[in-house]
């Protein structure tokens, strides 16, 4: 007599034309699967004669599935910082025998002009948002999926999930102190402090270093370029230029070097530069930006680690976890003597 075939999750998934992850989560009463689909899976499992494994066997069979969300605007550059974070996350989760599902969010989706259900078939266990997106979009996704969620390289006090951010405050305070120790007193901050929480953290670190040394922020603002292509940095009039500039966003670097060059100024001979959280510190003409940089591997690892804790049921939610940045030693800072002249150093 022919032995009856053992029914597996793959057979249920094939019968319903859905993923194995959806079947696993439906049978385990996991959040993220609709009531209707859960019922269909269980009815099909009964009809096929599927035997639910013991708890230990079921846990071994289960596949961990993590949804990753990135705004489309963050992946337009060939060497995207956020895509590098995603690659690290995908590798880490793969090493834990898990799966990742990447969703690239368009501007219309983020603004709520276009609606779609995310991870309808995947039934994800958790979500990682890489880079800031609108508060309403993040809140809607978190409330709809009801799974542990983590945000990387931003934080939003209006949505209570975990966040992993570089320590921009102490990083910028440290590089400002480096410039002060090198003799600089007129130090400008290039960037709009009100353009985001990361930029504000950088600016406050800059201000704290100045305050601790009895200095004030540079009085003549350096205006960063607009987002429109071809826009340029506006520098103060001759005679009012600072001796050092802190760059809050590496996208400003090219425009700044061009603006300085148009005035016949060289780095670091005439103006010293320091980068706050710059991802790629290598500049033209053999220059390497001094400052600190965000470490995408550290952010990725920390995000996965925190999400794992939440999936395991460990307490805590809505915390902001700051991660120390890496110091970047370059050649864009020159020491100034007490008379105000540049010296090698």
Q: How far is CA 99 from CA 21, 176, 222, in A?
A: 9, 42, 46
- The single-letter DSSP state of residue 281 is -
Q: Which residues pair with 127 in a beta bridge?
A: 67, 149
Fold of 168-294+328-343: Rossmann fold (3.40.50)
**What are the tens digits of pLDDT across the range 317-335?**
678 899 888 888 889 999 9
Q: Give the domain ranges of the chain.
A: 9-60, 65-166+295-324, 168-294+328-343
Residue 74 DSSP class = G
Whether residue 268 is preceded by a cis peptide bond, meaning omega within 30 degrees of 0, is yes
Cα–Cα distance, 182 to 163 (Å, whole number): 35
Q: What is the DSSP code (8-state) at residue 18?
A: -
Asked whether the predicted pLDDT for residue 149 surpasses 90, the reply is yes
Tens of pLDDT, residues 58-82: 444 445 789 999 999 888 765 688 8
Q: What is the pLDDT of residue 206?
A: 96
pLDDT over 90 at 344, yes or no:
no
Residues sharing a CB contact under 8 Å with residue 165, sequence separation 6 or more, in sequence order: 152, 153, 154, 155, 198, 320, 321, 322, 323
Among the CATH numbers 3.30.1130.10, 3.40.50.2300, 3.20.20.70, 3.20.10.10, which is that of 65-166+295-324? 3.40.50.2300
Q: What is the pLDDT of residues 244-279, one digit of tens each?
A: 999 998 888 888 888 898 888 899 999 999 998 876
**Percent of the chain's residues with pLDDT above 70:** 84
CA nearest 204: which of 171, 178, 156, 179?
171
pLDDT greater than 50 at residue 179: yes
pLDDT at 233: 83
Backbone φ and ψ of 175, nearest 5°? -70, -30
Note the pTM of the prediction, 2 decimals. Answer: 0.73
Q: Which CATH number fits domain 9-60: 3.40.50.1110, 1.10.260.40, 3.40.50.2000, 1.20.120.1200?
A: 1.10.260.40
Angle at 117 between CA 315 and CA 94, to 5 degrees: 55
Could you tell me the pLDDT band of residue 4, with boundaries at 50, 70 and 90? low
Same CATH topology for 65-166+295-324 and 168-294+328-343: the answer is yes
Band (240; pLDDT cuts 50, 70, 90)? confident
């Amino acid at each position: 007599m022919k032995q009856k075939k053992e029914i597996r999750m793959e057979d249920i998934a094939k019968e319903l034309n859905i993923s194995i992850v959806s079947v696993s989560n439906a049978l385990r009463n996991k959040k993220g699967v609709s009531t209707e689909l859960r019922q269909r899976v269980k009815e099909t499992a009964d009809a096929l004669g599927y035997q639910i494994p013991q708890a230990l066997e079921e846990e071994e069979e289960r596949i961990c599935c993590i949804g990753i969300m990135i705004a489309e605007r963050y992946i337009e550059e060939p060497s995207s910082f956020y895509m590098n974070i995603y690659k690290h996350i995908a590798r880490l989760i793969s090493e834990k025998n898990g799966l990742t599902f990447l969703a690239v969010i368009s501007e219309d989706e983020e603004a709520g002009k276009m609606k779609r259900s995310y991870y309808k078939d995947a039934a994800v266990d958790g979500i990682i948002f890489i880079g800031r997106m609108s508060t309403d979009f993040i809140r809607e996704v978190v409330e709809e999926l009801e799974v542990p969620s983590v945000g990387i390289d931003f934080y939003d006090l209006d949505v209570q999930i975990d966040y992993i951010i570089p320590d921009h405050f102490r990083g910028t305070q440290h590089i400002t102190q480096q410039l002060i120790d090198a003799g600089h007193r007129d130090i400008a901050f290039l960037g709009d402090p009100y353009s985001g929480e990361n930029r504000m953290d950088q600016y406050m670190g800059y201000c704290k270093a100045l305050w601790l040394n009895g200095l004030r922020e540079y009085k003549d603002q350096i205006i960063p370029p607009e987002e429109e292509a071809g826009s340029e940095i506006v520098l103060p009039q001759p005679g009012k230029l600072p001796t050092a500039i802190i760059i809050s966003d590496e996208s400003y670097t090219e425009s700044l070097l061009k603006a300085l060059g148009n005035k016949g100024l060289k780095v670091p001979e005439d103006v010293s530069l320091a980068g706050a959280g710059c991802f790629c510190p290598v500049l033209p003409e053999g220059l390497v930006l001094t400052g600190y940089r965000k470490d995408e591997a550290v952010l990725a690892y920390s995000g996965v680690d925190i999400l794992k804790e939440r999936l395991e049921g460990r307490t805590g939610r809505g915390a902001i976890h700051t991660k120390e940045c890496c110091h970047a030693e370059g050649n864009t800072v020159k020491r100034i003597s007490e008379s105000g002249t540049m010296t090698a150093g």
